Structure 1
């Protein structure tokens, strides 16, 4: 009997040891995947977004769409720069050696980037829908000054929604005497997660779900308007913006879904394994946009003869003035080329300069 008891205890110990080794192996794999994703995000994000800012913000003639895209690129560039500290933290086994301020700023700008990006995508979607349905209205009010004012408003909103993460993020002593940097709410230490769950809920609703519904409605309206006015196809800016929206929600969607799952069951194995990877893919969104611009501007037939500046110039060029309809030129009114240099097509008089 004693022999059987000893055998059972040894067997249970072997199973526990095997489980712990498996868990350690999974954690190590997750850490390696996260490090790779962070590295790709930093290298390609800093390089690509710098090129976008240089091309769309400096080299090319300013227009409304480029103002939106430059603001997106600035948010992504700052975000990628702040990810350097996150990468170093991962390399040092989640030890945070950078102090309290960088801990707060790192978390703050992580979500400022998210809010700024999704708010800008929502603004761009509304802008494109108005271009299709209200061309006269947009011709008078869609100016560079208005775009800059709206961009400043978007940044202010993003800062407001992200400020709690600057306030509540703290550095504390964790396991193995390693400094940790994470969101710490006083009530949560007493078992009350109401404040934390409220932050998660606001982040999901205002930073994901509601903007997604706005964007979806606007693109449905824009598609219906394009079909109604018999445009031969979408303009390149509309295709680029549709790609940006898809990339954003594909990258950030799993992260938000797993955070909701974490609110329900914090100790879930799926959350523990999936959340670090989902976070890495969410960060990856900041280096995807320049790649999308590059692909949209690339002419496959001339791929070996194109310069980098030529590819991005073609991507950012607004094509609305080339699309015609019998009822009017909604896309034409939405490009930002000054009236003194544009062309208007009259179906009775041909082409005339205005």
Structure 2
């Protein structure tokens, strides 16, 4: 995401031209000029980010604890969920910085600017990639159950996980590195370094295509095949598992699709499309909506998945450590569960 400074006149006279600074390293387009949209956006975003931070930190911390304390981390199901939870916590860690930024100005210094930008993008990119990988894993387990044992191994997961984290880091490090703090007449800003127009547009379209459209296309294909497969069986438990993951994907689409649409429209403004004022409120609302997925993900698992609700209510606390060696009977159960993926 890139920064651009432009002049937006409210009349035909140059005396009334107002300079606005745009930054969207935290995924947002913020109009730093003093107008009604800035007042609305600053207060709305700052308050909502604070609320999302509290909900997300609580939900994801509990989910992380439940996975590490009670779940078998040799199963790819739990391992992918663990990665998703870590991604959510990374993105959540940037929220206090952006909340203060929207309500006041950037008061944390240059190093924190790099961190907040990097944490946002690393959490966002890794979440999308691991959500896609988890869906493909579910697809293999359900649609290709006979070959699932060969494909869904711990070794395969480690290689996949390392590759996805490497891609996420490679995509987010440049964003963090080229962020900067700058003092303006509106206060201290955390923004991107100026880049040529071609690089600005490339950044927009790579994010939309590689980290939204392509993964979502893969997810839709996988769930279409999964739905066709489970419609021929009578396993209620498998239906419940797939339905839970489907809701997670649906929530991700509802949260992030509006943001990517507005992101695309904003790229058109760089090409001369005069619709900037009408996009101001859309950016505030859509980006705030995108952040809501941080607490919706653990909420679905806690309240939609029976085992995590039992952990929360304290009804299932005598579970072995995930790193302990299984007995013969427990090993047999793990093998069966791994095969049927329920």
Pair 1:264 & 2:275 matched: no
In 2, Cα distance between equivalents of 1:152 and 1:197: 29
What TM-score comes out, normalization by structure 1 length? 0.74
Pair 1:74 & 2:82 matched: no
Q: 1:340 aligns with which of 328, 332, 336?
A: 332
Note the C-alpha offset of 1:231: 4.6
Does the 8 A contact of 1:294 with 1:311 survive in 2? no
Note the C-alpha offset of 1:223: 1.1
Does the 8 A contact of 1:57 with 1:67 survive in 2? no
Note the C-alpha offset of 1:99: 2.1
Does the 8 A contact of 2:43 with 2:103 survive in 1? no
Q: Which residue of 2 aligns with 1:98?
A: 108
Give the secondary structure class of the aligned counterpart of 1:186. coil
1:292-339, CA deviations, whole angstroms, 9 ceiling, x for partnerless residues?
Answer: 11220359xxx9xx66155899xxxxxxxxxxxxxxxxxxxxxxx965
In 1, Cα distance between equivalents of 2:128 and 2:178: 23
In 2, Cα distance between equivalents of 1:135 and 1:202: 34
1:117-175, CA deviations, whole angstroms, 9 ceiling, x for partnerless residues?
Answer: 11111111111111122222211331234323322221111111222212322212222
Q: 2:175 aligns with which of 128, 149, 165?
A: 165
Taking the TM superposition and a 5 Å limit, the aligned residue runs for 1:286-297 are 286-297=294-305
Q: Which runs of 4+ in 1 moved over 6 A?
A: none
In 2, Cα distance between equivalents of 1:105 and 1:39: 18
Pair 1:225 & 2:233 matched: no
1:199-238, CA deviations, whole angstroms, 9 ceiling, x for partnerless residues?
Answer: 0100000110000000000111111122345655644332
In 2, Cα distance between equivalents of 1:310 and 1:150: 34
Q: 1:26 to 1:195 in 2, by over 3 A?
A: closer
Pair 1:24 & 2:55 matched: no
Considering fraction of residues, name the structure with more helix: 1
Pair 1:134 & 2:126 matched: no
Note the C-alpha offset of 1:278: 1.3
Q: 1:119 aligns with which of 101, 115, 129?
A: 129
Does the 8 A contact of 2:52 with 2:295 survive in 1? yes
Note the C-alpha offset of 1:289: 0.8
Q: 2:215 aligns with which of 190, 203, 211?
A: 211
1:71-116, CA deviations, whole angstroms, 9 ceiling, x for partnerless residues?
Answer: 1111111221221111121221xx2122222212211221221111
Q: Which residue of 1 aligns with 2:246?
A: 242
What TM-score comes out, normalization by structure 2 length? 0.76
Pair 1:41 & 2:46 matched: no
Q: 1:312 to 1:179 in 2, by over 3 A?
A: farther
Give the secondary structure class of the aligned counterpart of 2:292. helix
Q: Which residue of 1 aligns with 2:195?
A: 186
Report the RMSD for the aligned CA atoms in angstroms. Answer: 2.6
Does the 8 A contact of 2:113 with 2:181 survive in 1? yes
Q: 1:254 aligns with which of 251, 255, 258?
A: 258
Does the 8 A contact of 2:90 with 2:120 survive in 1? no
Does the 8 A contact of 2:182 with 2:188 survive in 1? yes
Note the C-alpha offset of 1:24: 3.4
Q: Which structure is larger by alpha-carbon Rg, 1 or 2?
A: 1
In 2, Cα distance between equivalents of 1:88 and 1:289: 24
Q: Which residue of 2 aligns with 1:316?
A: none
Q: 1:147 aligns with which of 135, 157, 178?
A: 157
Taking the TM superposition and a 5 Å limit, the aligned residue runs for 1:293-304 are 293-297=301-305
